[in-house]
Chains A and B, each alone.
Chain A
Amino acid sequence: MSLLEFDEVDKYFGETHVLKDVDLNVEEGEVCVIIGPSGSGKSTLLRCANRLEEIQGGEIRLEGQSISAADADINRLRQRIGMVFQSFNLFPHKTARENVTLAPTKVKGLKEGDAERRADELLDRVGLGAQSNSYPNQLSGGQQQRVAIARALAMDPHVMLFDEVTSALDPELVGEVLDVMHDLAEEGMTMLVVTHEMGFAREVGDRIVLMADGKVVEDSPPEVFFENPKTDRGKQFLSKLL
Protein backbone atom coordinates (compact mmCIF):
# COMPACT_ATOMS: atom_id res chain seq x y z
CA MET A 1 0.00 0.00 0.00
CA SER A 2 1.33 3.40 -0.96
CA LEU A 3 0.83 6.47 1.19
CA LEU A 4 -1.23 8.31 -1.39
CA GLU A 5 -2.96 6.47 -4.24
CA PHE A 6 -4.79 7.82 -7.26
CA ASP A 7 -6.74 4.96 -8.77
CA GLU A 8 -8.18 5.53 -12.26
CA VAL A 9 -9.25 9.05 -11.32
CA ASP A 10 -11.61 10.92 -13.64
CA LYS A 11 -12.45 14.57 -13.17
CA TYR A 12 -14.79 16.74 -15.24
CA PHE A 13 -15.49 20.45 -15.11
CA GLY A 14 -18.88 20.41 -16.78
CA GLU A 15 -18.18 18.91 -20.19
CA THR A 16 -14.40 19.24 -20.00
CA HIS A 17 -12.57 16.05 -19.12
CA VAL A 18 -9.70 17.37 -17.00
CA LEU A 19 -8.25 14.22 -15.42
CA LYS A 20 -8.40 11.10 -17.55
CA ASP A 21 -7.98 7.79 -15.82
CA VAL A 22 -5.06 8.98 -13.71
CA ASP A 23 -3.10 6.33 -11.82
CA LEU A 24 -0.41 7.53 -9.45
CA ASN A 25 1.05 6.12 -6.25
CA VAL A 26 3.15 8.21 -3.92
CA GLU A 27 5.29 6.19 -1.51
CA GLU A 28 6.08 7.20 2.04
CA GLY A 29 9.07 9.55 2.20
CA GLU A 30 9.01 10.14 -1.52
CA VAL A 31 9.20 13.50 -3.26
CA CYS A 32 7.06 13.23 -6.36
CA VAL A 33 7.38 16.20 -8.71
CA ILE A 34 4.62 16.86 -11.22
CA ILE A 35 5.45 18.91 -14.28
CA GLY A 36 3.60 19.61 -17.48
CA PRO A 37 2.23 22.32 -19.72
CA SER A 38 -0.34 24.84 -18.53
CA GLY A 39 -3.84 23.39 -18.38
CA SER A 40 -2.66 19.78 -18.20
CA GLY A 41 -4.47 19.24 -14.90
CA LYS A 42 -1.65 19.45 -12.34
CA SER A 43 -3.44 21.80 -9.94
CA THR A 44 -6.66 19.88 -10.35
CA LEU A 45 -4.92 16.64 -9.40
CA LEU A 46 -3.57 18.22 -6.22
CA ARG A 47 -6.90 19.79 -5.34
CA CYS A 48 -8.63 16.43 -5.77
CA ALA A 49 -6.09 14.89 -3.37
CA ASN A 50 -7.57 16.82 -0.46
CA ARG A 51 -11.02 17.03 -1.96
CA LEU A 52 -11.11 20.72 -2.71
CA GLU A 53 -12.51 19.28 -5.95
CA GLU A 54 -14.81 16.27 -6.26
CA ILE A 55 -13.89 13.48 -8.67
CA GLN A 56 -16.37 11.75 -10.95
CA GLY A 57 -14.64 8.40 -11.34
CA GLY A 58 -12.03 6.22 -9.63
CA GLU A 59 -10.79 6.59 -6.10
CA ILE A 60 -8.15 8.48 -4.11
CA ARG A 61 -6.80 6.88 -0.95
CA LEU A 62 -4.59 8.12 1.85
CA GLU A 63 -2.94 5.32 3.83
CA GLY A 64 -5.59 2.98 2.50
CA GLN A 65 -8.55 5.18 3.47
CA SER A 66 -10.73 6.60 0.73
CA ILE A 67 -10.70 10.38 0.43
CA SER A 68 -13.18 10.46 -2.41
CA ALA A 69 -15.90 8.22 -0.94
CA ALA A 70 -19.19 9.98 -0.21
CA ASP A 71 -18.96 9.07 3.48
CA ALA A 72 -15.28 9.94 3.96
CA ASP A 73 -14.58 11.94 7.13
CA ILE A 74 -12.91 14.65 5.10
CA ASN A 75 -12.15 17.08 7.94
CA ARG A 76 -10.23 14.31 9.70
CA LEU A 77 -8.45 13.12 6.57
CA ARG A 78 -7.39 16.65 5.61
CA GLN A 79 -5.47 16.96 8.86
CA ARG A 80 -3.04 14.42 7.44
CA ILE A 81 -2.67 16.32 4.14
CA GLY A 82 -0.88 19.67 4.22
CA MET A 83 -1.43 22.03 1.32
CA VAL A 84 0.51 25.09 0.24
CA PHE A 85 -0.99 27.34 -2.43
CA GLN A 86 0.54 29.49 -5.13
CA SER A 87 -1.15 32.57 -3.64
CA PHE A 88 -0.17 31.77 0.00
CA ASN A 89 -3.71 32.30 1.30
CA LEU A 90 -2.48 33.39 4.71
CA PHE A 91 -5.17 34.72 7.02
CA PRO A 92 -4.60 38.51 6.83
CA HIS A 93 -6.31 39.23 10.14
CA LYS A 94 -3.97 36.99 12.07
CA THR A 95 -0.27 37.30 12.90
CA ALA A 96 2.21 34.75 11.59
CA ARG A 97 2.01 32.87 14.88
CA GLU A 98 -1.81 32.99 14.96
CA ASN A 99 -1.91 31.70 11.40
CA VAL A 100 0.04 28.68 12.58
CA THR A 101 -1.88 28.08 15.83
CA LEU A 102 -5.41 28.51 14.50
CA ALA A 103 -6.04 25.02 13.14
CA PRO A 104 -4.21 23.08 15.89
CA THR A 105 -6.26 24.83 18.58
CA LYS A 106 -9.62 24.79 16.77
CA VAL A 107 -9.37 21.41 15.06
CA LYS A 108 -7.10 19.35 17.31
CA GLY A 109 -8.06 21.08 20.54
CA LEU A 110 -4.43 21.85 21.42
CA LYS A 111 -3.98 24.22 24.37
CA GLU A 112 -3.13 27.81 23.40
CA GLY A 113 0.27 27.71 25.13
CA ASP A 114 1.30 24.39 23.61
CA ALA A 115 0.18 25.49 20.16
CA GLU A 116 2.18 28.73 20.48
CA ARG A 117 5.34 26.92 21.54
CA ARG A 118 4.98 24.59 18.60
CA ALA A 119 4.25 27.50 16.24
CA ASP A 120 7.41 29.32 17.34
CA GLU A 121 9.40 26.13 16.77
CA LEU A 122 7.99 25.79 13.26
CA LEU A 123 8.48 29.47 12.44
CA ASP A 124 12.09 29.12 13.62
CA ARG A 125 12.50 26.13 11.38
CA VAL A 126 11.41 28.12 8.30
CA GLY A 127 13.68 30.98 9.36
CA LEU A 128 10.98 33.33 10.67
CA GLY A 129 11.47 33.12 14.43
CA ALA A 130 11.71 36.91 14.59
CA GLN A 131 8.56 37.57 12.56
CA SER A 132 6.03 35.62 14.60
CA ASN A 133 4.12 38.76 15.62
CA SER A 134 4.00 40.27 12.13
CA TYR A 135 0.84 40.36 10.08
CA PRO A 136 1.00 38.86 6.58
CA ASN A 137 0.95 42.25 4.88
CA GLN A 138 4.07 43.20 6.82
CA LEU A 139 5.94 40.25 5.30
CA SER A 140 7.52 39.72 1.90
CA GLY A 141 6.06 37.11 -0.46
CA GLY A 142 8.82 34.67 0.35
CA GLN A 143 8.26 35.12 4.07
CA GLN A 144 4.50 34.71 3.66
CA GLN A 145 4.95 31.48 1.77
CA ARG A 146 7.26 30.14 4.49
CA VAL A 147 4.61 30.99 7.11
CA ALA A 148 2.11 29.09 4.96
CA ILE A 149 4.42 26.06 5.00
CA ALA A 150 4.76 26.31 8.80
CA ARG A 151 0.98 26.60 9.08
CA ALA A 152 0.50 23.39 7.10
CA LEU A 153 3.21 21.57 9.09
CA ALA A 154 1.52 22.49 12.36
CA MET A 155 -1.13 19.84 11.74
CA ASP A 156 1.60 17.16 11.51
CA PRO A 157 0.55 16.06 8.02
CA HIS A 158 1.69 12.75 6.57
CA VAL A 159 1.95 14.23 3.09
CA MET A 160 2.43 17.78 1.81
CA LEU A 161 0.99 19.13 -1.43
CA PHE A 162 2.73 22.11 -3.06
CA ASP A 163 1.06 23.82 -6.02
CA GLU A 164 3.53 26.12 -7.79
CA VAL A 165 4.36 27.73 -4.48
CA THR A 166 7.12 29.92 -5.93
CA SER A 167 5.32 31.11 -9.07
CA ALA A 168 3.93 34.26 -7.46
CA LEU A 169 7.27 35.29 -5.99
CA ASP A 170 9.87 37.77 -7.19
CA PRO A 171 12.83 35.79 -8.54
CA GLU A 172 15.11 36.78 -5.67
CA LEU A 173 12.65 35.30 -3.13
CA VAL A 174 12.24 31.91 -4.78
CA GLY A 175 15.38 30.42 -3.27
CA GLU A 176 14.41 30.86 0.38
CA VAL A 177 11.17 28.94 -0.16
CA LEU A 178 12.81 26.16 -2.15
CA ASP A 179 15.42 25.83 0.61
CA VAL A 180 12.69 25.18 3.17
CA MET A 181 11.14 22.55 0.88
CA HIS A 182 14.54 20.99 0.34
CA ASP A 183 15.04 20.65 4.10
CA LEU A 184 11.60 19.13 4.48
CA ALA A 185 12.39 16.54 1.84
CA GLU A 186 15.64 15.66 3.57
CA GLU A 187 13.79 15.14 6.83
CA GLY A 188 11.74 12.50 5.05
CA MET A 189 8.46 14.31 4.41
CA THR A 190 6.31 12.77 1.71
CA MET A 191 5.74 15.48 -0.87
CA LEU A 192 3.71 15.93 -4.03
CA VAL A 193 5.10 19.02 -5.74
CA VAL A 194 3.82 20.84 -8.81
CA THR A 195 6.56 23.17 -10.00
CA HIS A 196 8.19 24.86 -12.94
CA GLU A 197 11.54 24.96 -11.13
CA MET A 198 13.42 22.29 -13.05
CA GLY A 199 16.58 22.68 -10.96
CA PHE A 200 14.59 21.87 -7.84
CA ALA A 201 12.77 19.00 -9.57
CA ARG A 202 16.01 17.45 -10.60
CA GLU A 203 17.83 17.87 -7.33
CA VAL A 204 15.09 17.11 -4.79
CA GLY A 205 12.64 14.95 -6.73
CA ASP A 206 12.69 11.17 -6.41
CA ARG A 207 10.30 10.91 -9.34
CA ILE A 208 9.27 13.17 -12.17
CA VAL A 209 5.69 12.78 -13.32
CA LEU A 210 4.88 14.49 -16.61
CA MET A 211 1.25 15.33 -17.22
CA ALA A 212 -0.32 16.34 -20.52
CA ASP A 213 -4.00 16.71 -21.42
CA GLY A 214 -5.14 15.29 -18.11
CA LYS A 215 -3.01 12.16 -18.33
CA VAL A 216 0.22 10.98 -16.78
CA VAL A 217 2.43 10.54 -19.86
CA GLU A 218 5.76 9.81 -18.24
CA ASP A 219 6.85 8.73 -14.77
CA SER A 220 10.63 8.44 -14.43
CA PRO A 221 13.46 9.06 -11.96
CA PRO A 222 14.92 12.55 -12.51
CA GLU A 223 18.21 11.33 -13.93
CA VAL A 224 16.30 9.36 -16.56
CA PHE A 225 13.78 12.08 -17.28
CA PHE A 226 16.28 14.90 -17.69
CA GLU A 227 18.99 12.87 -19.48
CA ASN A 228 17.07 10.49 -21.62
CA PRO A 229 13.30 10.62 -21.35
CA LYS A 230 11.44 7.40 -22.11
CA THR A 231 8.62 8.97 -24.08
CA ASP A 232 8.25 11.33 -27.01
CA ARG A 233 6.11 13.64 -24.87
CA GLY A 234 8.96 13.76 -22.39
CA LYS A 235 11.46 14.62 -25.12
CA GLN A 236 9.11 17.25 -26.52
CA PHE A 237 8.61 18.85 -23.12
CA LEU A 238 12.34 18.98 -22.42
CA SER A 239 13.15 20.48 -25.81
CA LYS A 240 10.74 23.32 -25.11
CA LEU A 241 12.46 24.07 -21.81
CA LEU A 242 15.80 24.82 -23.47
Chain B
Amino acid sequence: MADSYSEGRTGDGEYQEQFLNDKTLRRLGAAVAGLFTLAVGGFIAAIIFTQVDFELFVEIIHPQFVNAFLRVLGIVLLGSLLSVTAGIFVGLGRVSNTRFTNTVATAYVEFFRGTPLLFQLLVIFVGIPAFWPPGQFPISNWQYPTAIIGLTLNHAAYVGEAVRGGIDAVPEGQMEAARSLGMSYVQGMREVVLPQAWRNALAAIGNDQVILVKDTSLLTVIAIPELISAFRNVNSTTFDPWTPIILVAIAYLMITIPLGKIVNHLEARADWGGDRR
Protein backbone atom coordinates (compact mmCIF):
# COMPACT_ATOMS: atom_id res chain seq x y z
CA MET B 1 0.00 0.00 0.00
CA ALA B 2 2.63 2.49 1.06
CA ASP B 3 4.51 1.93 -2.17
CA SER B 4 1.62 2.57 -4.52
CA TYR B 5 0.44 5.44 -2.38
CA SER B 6 3.61 7.40 -2.78
CA GLU B 7 4.09 6.43 -6.40
CA GLY B 8 4.27 9.35 -8.79
CA ARG B 9 5.12 11.76 -6.04
CA THR B 10 8.21 13.88 -6.21
CA GLY B 11 10.33 15.87 -3.80
CA ASP B 12 9.29 15.28 -0.18
CA GLY B 13 7.18 12.30 -1.14
CA GLU B 14 10.15 10.46 -2.58
CA TYR B 15 12.27 11.39 0.36
CA GLN B 16 9.73 9.85 2.73
CA GLU B 17 9.44 6.83 0.51
CA GLN B 18 13.15 6.18 0.89
CA PHE B 19 13.67 6.83 4.56
CA LEU B 20 10.36 6.22 6.32
CA ASN B 21 8.64 3.39 4.52
CA ASP B 22 6.96 0.51 6.35
CA LYS B 23 10.00 -1.72 6.23
CA THR B 24 12.45 0.75 7.74
CA LEU B 25 9.93 1.66 10.40
CA ARG B 26 9.51 -1.96 11.33
CA ARG B 27 13.28 -2.44 11.49
CA LEU B 28 13.68 0.69 13.55
CA GLY B 29 11.04 -0.57 15.99
CA ALA B 30 12.76 -3.94 16.29
CA ALA B 31 16.10 -2.23 16.87
CA VAL B 32 14.74 -0.05 19.65
CA ALA B 33 13.03 -3.03 21.27
CA GLY B 34 16.24 -5.02 21.02
CA LEU B 35 18.32 -2.32 22.62
CA PHE B 36 15.75 -1.89 25.36
CA THR B 37 15.73 -5.63 26.10
CA LEU B 38 19.52 -5.68 26.20
CA ALA B 39 19.70 -2.71 28.56
CA VAL B 40 17.02 -3.99 30.97
CA GLY B 41 18.25 -7.58 30.75
CA GLY B 42 21.79 -6.43 31.45
CA PHE B 43 20.67 -4.31 34.36
CA ILE B 44 18.73 -7.16 35.94
CA ALA B 45 21.58 -9.60 35.37
CA ALA B 46 24.01 -7.13 36.94
CA ILE B 47 21.77 -6.79 39.97
CA ILE B 48 21.29 -10.51 40.36
CA PHE B 49 25.01 -11.23 40.14
CA THR B 50 26.38 -8.28 42.08
CA GLN B 51 23.61 -7.26 44.49
CA VAL B 52 21.51 -10.28 45.41
CA ASP B 53 22.63 -12.26 48.41
CA PHE B 54 21.49 -15.81 47.69
CA GLU B 55 21.83 -17.02 51.24
CA LEU B 56 19.63 -14.22 52.41
CA PHE B 57 17.27 -14.85 49.49
CA VAL B 58 16.68 -18.43 50.65
CA GLU B 59 16.46 -17.41 54.26
CA ILE B 60 13.72 -14.79 53.81
CA ILE B 61 11.69 -16.56 51.15
CA HIS B 62 10.19 -18.89 53.70
CA PRO B 63 8.22 -18.23 55.79
CA GLN B 64 8.31 -14.45 55.51
CA PHE B 65 7.70 -13.88 51.80
CA VAL B 66 5.63 -16.99 51.22
CA ASN B 67 3.30 -15.92 54.01
CA ALA B 68 3.08 -12.35 52.73
CA PHE B 69 2.38 -13.66 49.24
CA LEU B 70 -0.38 -16.01 50.41
CA ARG B 71 -1.91 -13.22 52.50
CA VAL B 72 -1.95 -10.88 49.50
CA LEU B 73 -3.32 -13.62 47.27
CA GLY B 74 -6.16 -14.33 49.69
CA ILE B 75 -7.03 -10.65 49.99
CA VAL B 76 -6.93 -10.29 46.18
CA LEU B 77 -9.15 -13.31 45.57
CA LEU B 78 -11.79 -12.18 48.06
CA GLY B 79 -11.53 -8.51 47.06
CA SER B 80 -11.83 -9.37 43.36
CA LEU B 81 -14.83 -11.60 43.81
CA LEU B 82 -16.65 -9.05 45.98
CA SER B 83 -15.68 -5.94 44.00
CA VAL B 84 -16.68 -7.42 40.63
CA THR B 85 -19.98 -8.68 42.04
CA ALA B 86 -20.75 -5.36 43.73
CA GLY B 87 -19.52 -3.49 40.65
CA ILE B 88 -22.12 -5.17 38.45
CA PHE B 89 -24.83 -3.79 40.71
CA VAL B 90 -23.20 -0.35 40.75
CA GLY B 91 -23.20 -0.44 36.93
CA LEU B 92 -26.86 -1.47 36.85
CA GLY B 93 -27.62 1.40 39.21
CA ARG B 94 -25.79 3.79 36.90
CA VAL B 95 -27.97 2.84 33.90
CA SER B 96 -31.20 2.70 35.92
CA ASN B 97 -34.04 4.92 34.72
CA THR B 98 -35.16 5.35 38.32
CA ARG B 99 -33.84 8.77 39.30
CA PHE B 100 -33.20 7.82 42.93
CA THR B 101 -31.24 4.65 42.14
CA ASN B 102 -29.28 6.45 39.48
CA THR B 103 -28.37 9.34 41.79
CA VAL B 104 -27.25 7.04 44.59
CA ALA B 105 -25.08 4.99 42.21
CA THR B 106 -23.56 8.15 40.73
CA ALA B 107 -22.80 9.61 44.15
CA TYR B 108 -21.22 6.31 45.17
CA VAL B 109 -18.93 6.31 42.15
CA GLU B 110 -18.04 9.98 42.59
CA PHE B 111 -17.04 9.46 46.21
CA PHE B 112 -15.05 6.27 45.86
CA ARG B 113 -13.24 7.37 42.72
CA GLY B 114 -12.83 10.89 43.98
CA THR B 115 -10.97 10.14 47.20
CA PRO B 116 -7.76 8.12 47.62
CA LEU B 117 -8.03 4.47 48.57
CA LEU B 118 -5.54 5.11 51.38
CA PHE B 119 -7.92 7.69 52.85
CA GLN B 120 -10.84 5.27 52.57
CA LEU B 121 -8.82 2.56 54.31
CA LEU B 122 -8.00 4.92 57.17
CA VAL B 123 -11.63 5.97 57.54
CA ILE B 124 -12.65 2.34 57.94
CA PHE B 125 -9.64 1.34 60.04
CA VAL B 126 -9.70 4.12 62.64
CA GLY B 127 -13.06 5.77 61.96
CA ILE B 128 -15.38 2.81 62.53
CA PRO B 129 -13.86 1.62 65.84
CA ALA B 130 -14.19 5.20 67.16
CA PHE B 131 -17.95 4.62 67.48
CA TRP B 132 -17.20 2.34 70.43
CA PRO B 133 -15.72 3.43 73.75
CA PRO B 134 -11.93 3.01 73.78
CA GLY B 135 -10.92 -0.63 73.89
CA GLN B 136 -14.50 -1.88 73.44
CA PHE B 137 -14.48 -2.46 69.67
CA PRO B 138 -15.57 -6.12 69.36
CA ILE B 139 -13.68 -7.14 66.23
CA SER B 140 -10.08 -8.20 66.65
CA ASN B 141 -7.66 -7.99 63.72
CA TRP B 142 -9.85 -5.26 62.26
CA GLN B 143 -7.16 -4.57 59.64
CA TYR B 144 -8.26 -7.60 57.61
CA PRO B 145 -11.96 -6.73 57.37
CA THR B 146 -10.77 -3.16 56.67
CA ALA B 147 -8.66 -4.38 53.73
CA ILE B 148 -11.49 -6.40 52.18
CA ILE B 149 -14.15 -3.73 52.74
CA GLY B 150 -11.91 -0.91 51.49
CA LEU B 151 -10.72 -2.71 48.35
CA THR B 152 -14.24 -3.90 47.58
CA LEU B 153 -15.93 -0.52 47.99
CA ASN B 154 -13.22 1.30 46.06
CA HIS B 155 -12.94 -1.12 43.14
CA ALA B 156 -16.69 -1.69 42.89
CA ALA B 157 -16.82 1.96 41.77
CA TYR B 158 -14.32 1.36 38.96
CA VAL B 159 -15.87 -1.96 37.95
CA GLY B 160 -19.26 -0.24 38.04
CA GLU B 161 -18.07 2.35 35.53
CA ALA B 162 -16.65 -0.39 33.31
CA VAL B 163 -19.96 -2.25 33.47
CA ARG B 164 -21.90 0.93 32.71
CA GLY B 165 -19.72 1.53 29.65
CA GLY B 166 -20.26 -2.09 28.63
CA ILE B 167 -24.04 -1.78 28.95
CA ASP B 168 -24.09 1.53 27.05
CA ALA B 169 -22.22 -0.13 24.19
CA VAL B 170 -24.97 -2.76 23.74
CA PRO B 171 -27.34 -1.50 21.03
CA GLU B 172 -30.79 -0.48 22.28
CA GLY B 173 -32.36 -2.88 19.79
CA GLN B 174 -31.16 -5.77 21.95
CA MET B 175 -33.36 -4.85 24.90
CA GLU B 176 -36.22 -3.98 22.53
CA ALA B 177 -35.98 -7.40 20.89
CA ALA B 178 -36.02 -9.07 24.30
CA ARG B 179 -38.99 -7.02 25.49
CA SER B 180 -40.93 -7.57 22.28
CA LEU B 181 -40.67 -11.32 22.93
CA GLY B 182 -42.42 -10.83 26.25
CA MET B 183 -39.33 -10.83 28.47
CA SER B 184 -39.29 -8.51 31.49
CA TYR B 185 -36.66 -5.78 31.95
CA VAL B 186 -34.83 -7.99 34.44
CA GLN B 187 -34.89 -11.00 32.10
CA GLY B 188 -33.72 -8.82 29.20
CA MET B 189 -30.85 -7.49 31.31
CA ARG B 190 -29.81 -10.88 32.62
CA GLU B 191 -30.16 -12.95 29.46
CA VAL B 192 -29.40 -10.46 26.70
CA VAL B 193 -27.75 -7.20 27.75
CA LEU B 194 -25.44 -8.22 30.59
CA PRO B 195 -23.67 -11.09 28.80
CA GLN B 196 -22.78 -8.66 26.00
CA ALA B 197 -21.97 -5.84 28.42
CA TRP B 198 -19.71 -8.23 30.31
CA ARG B 199 -17.69 -8.94 27.20
CA ASN B 200 -17.52 -5.25 26.34
CA ALA B 201 -16.35 -4.46 29.88
CA LEU B 202 -13.94 -7.36 30.36
CA ALA B 203 -10.76 -5.53 29.36
CA ALA B 204 -11.57 -2.55 31.58
CA ILE B 205 -12.51 -4.80 34.51
CA GLY B 206 -9.27 -6.74 34.01
CA ASN B 207 -7.25 -3.52 34.12
CA ASP B 208 -8.95 -2.53 37.33
CA GLN B 209 -8.32 -5.89 38.96
CA VAL B 210 -4.60 -5.59 38.17
CA ILE B 211 -4.69 -2.25 39.95
CA LEU B 212 -6.46 -3.92 42.86
CA VAL B 213 -3.53 -6.33 43.18
CA LYS B 214 -1.08 -3.44 43.30
CA ASP B 215 -3.32 -1.53 45.72
CA THR B 216 -2.72 -4.22 48.32
CA SER B 217 0.67 -2.52 48.82
CA LEU B 218 -1.21 0.26 50.66
CA LEU B 219 -2.23 -2.25 53.31
CA THR B 220 1.24 -1.90 54.82
CA VAL B 221 -0.12 1.32 56.35
CA ILE B 222 -2.77 -0.53 58.37
CA ALA B 223 -0.19 -3.05 59.60
CA ILE B 224 -0.99 -6.00 57.39
CA PRO B 225 2.24 -7.96 56.83
CA GLU B 226 2.03 -7.94 53.06
CA LEU B 227 4.84 -7.78 50.52
CA ILE B 228 5.96 -4.18 51.04
CA SER B 229 6.03 -4.77 54.80
CA ALA B 230 8.13 -7.86 54.22
CA PHE B 231 10.54 -5.79 52.17
CA ARG B 232 10.83 -3.09 54.82
CA ASN B 233 11.33 -5.72 57.47
CA VAL B 234 14.22 -7.39 55.70
CA ASN B 235 15.74 -4.14 54.51
CA SER B 236 15.75 -2.52 57.94
CA THR B 237 17.47 -5.47 59.60
CA THR B 238 19.95 -6.46 56.87
CA PHE B 239 20.37 -3.15 54.99
CA ASP B 240 20.16 -5.22 51.81
CA PRO B 241 17.76 -3.53 49.34
CA TRP B 242 17.99 -5.68 46.21
CA THR B 243 17.44 -9.15 47.58
CA PRO B 244 13.97 -8.34 48.96
CA ILE B 245 13.15 -6.04 45.99
CA ILE B 246 13.59 -8.95 43.59
CA LEU B 247 11.35 -11.11 45.75
CA VAL B 248 8.65 -8.43 45.88
CA ALA B 249 8.71 -8.08 42.09
CA ILE B 250 8.45 -11.82 41.56
CA ALA B 251 5.55 -12.07 44.02
CA TYR B 252 3.45 -9.32 42.40
CA LEU B 253 4.12 -10.61 38.90
CA MET B 254 3.09 -14.09 40.00
CA ILE B 255 -0.38 -12.66 40.57
CA THR B 256 -0.73 -10.01 37.86
CA ILE B 257 0.56 -12.07 34.91
CA PRO B 258 -1.82 -15.02 35.45
CA LEU B 259 -4.61 -12.50 36.05
CA GLY B 260 -3.98 -11.02 32.60
CA LYS B 261 -4.01 -14.53 31.13
CA ILE B 262 -7.36 -15.25 32.78
CA VAL B 263 -8.84 -12.05 31.32
CA ASN B 264 -7.52 -12.97 27.84
CA HIS B 265 -9.03 -16.40 28.20
CA LEU B 266 -12.42 -15.01 29.22
CA GLU B 267 -12.33 -12.60 26.28
CA ALA B 268 -11.50 -15.39 23.85
CA ARG B 269 -14.32 -17.49 25.25
CA ALA B 270 -16.83 -14.71 24.61
CA ASP B 271 -16.08 -14.74 20.90
CA TRP B 272 -19.44 -16.05 19.71
CA GLY B 273 -18.57 -17.41 16.33
CA GLY B 274 -15.57 -15.39 15.28
CA ASP B 275 -15.12 -11.78 14.29
CA ARG B 276 -15.96 -9.43 17.08
CA ARG B 277 -18.77 -7.15 15.97
Q: Name the A residues within 8 Å of B187 (CB-CB).
A: 106-107
Q: Name the B residues within 8 Å of A155 (CB-CB).
A: 181-182
- Decide: A75 and B272 in contact? CB cutoff 8 A: no
- Decide: B273 and A89 in contact? CB cutoff 8 A: no
Q: Name the B residues within 8 Å of A95 (CB-CB).
A: 273
A205 an interface residue at 8 Å Cβ cutoff? no
Give the docked Cα–Cα distance between A93 and B195 (Å).
Answer: 8
Q: Name the A residues within 8 Å of B192 (CB-CB).
A: 91, 102
- Decide: B182 and A52 in contact? CB cutoff 8 A: no
- Decide: A106 and B275 in contact? CB cutoff 8 A: no
Chain A, range 97-142, C-beta contacts under 8 Å to B: 102-103, 106-107, 134-138
- Decide: A134 and B273 in contact? CB cutoff 8 A: yes
B168 an interface residue at 8 Å Cβ cutoff? no
Q: How many A-B residue pairs have CB under 8 A?
A: 76
The interface stretch among B5-13, B89-97, B120-128, B169-177 is B169-177
Closest chain A residue to B192, Cβ basis: A91
Chain A, range 170-210, C-beta contacts under 8 Å to B: none
| Category for how many chain A residues contact B | 20 to 34
B270 an interface residue at 8 Å Cβ cutoff? yes
Which of the listed residues B177, B181, B187, B196 has the most CB atoms from chain A within 10 Å of its own CB?
B181
Give the docked Cα–Cα distance between A75 and B187 (Å).
Answer: 11
Give the docked Cα–Cα distance between A34 and B176 (Å).
Answer: 21
- Decide: A102 and B180 in contact? CB cutoff 8 A: no
Query: Which of these, A75, A81, A89, contacts B176 with CB under 8 Å?
Result: A89
Task: Using A106-B191, A134-B273 as known contacts, say yes or no to A93 and B181 having CB atoms under 8 A apart.
Answer: no
A215 an interface residue at 8 Å Cβ cutoff? no
- Decide: B176 and A85 in contact? CB cutoff 8 A: yes
Give the docked Cα–Cα distance between A81 and B179 (Å).
Answer: 11
Q: Name the B residues within 8 Å of A93 (CB-CB).
A: 195-196, 199, 270, 272
Q: Name the A residues within 8 Å of B181 (CB-CB).
A: 78-79, 102-103, 107, 151-152, 155
| Category for how many chain B residues contact A | 20 to 34
- Decide: A75 and B173 in contact? CB cutoff 8 A: no
- Decide: B182 and A103 in contact? CB cutoff 8 A: yes
Interface residues as binary, B196-225 with A (CB distance below 8 Å gives 1, 0 otherwise): 100100000000000000000000000000
- Decide: B182 and A138 in contact? CB cutoff 8 A: no
- Decide: B183 and A103 in contact? CB cutoff 8 A: yes
- Decide: A89 and B177 in contact? CB cutoff 8 A: yes
Task: Using A52-B179, A136-B273 as known contacts, say yes or no to A89 and B173 having CB atoms under 8 A apart.
Answer: yes
Q: Name the B residues within 8 Å of A33 (CB-CB).
A: none
Give the docked Cα–Cα distance between A94 and B137 (Å).
Answer: 52
- Decide: A78 and B195 in contact? CB cutoff 8 A: no
Q: Name the B residues within 8 Å of A82 (CB-CB).
A: 180
Give the docked Cα–Cα distance between A152 and B180 (Å).
Answer: 9
Query: Which of these, A85, A107, A135, contacts B182 with CB under 8 Å?
Result: A107
- Decide: B173 and A87 in contact? CB cutoff 8 A: yes
Task: Using A93-B195, A106-B187, A137-B277 as known contacts, say yes or no to A78 and B182 having CB atoms under 8 A apart.
Answer: yes
Closest chain A residue to B190, Cβ basis: A106
Closest chain B residue to A138, Cβ basis: B273
Query: Which of these, A83, A92, A106, A107, contacts B272 with CB under 8 Å?
Result: A92
Chain B interfacial positions (CB closer than 8 Å to A): 171, 173-174, 176-184, 187, 191-192, 195-196, 199, 270, 272-275, 277
Give 9 A-B contacts (CB < 8 Å), ordered by A residue: A85-B177, A89-B173, A91-B177, A93-B199, A102-B191, A107-B181, A107-B182, A134-B273, A148-B177
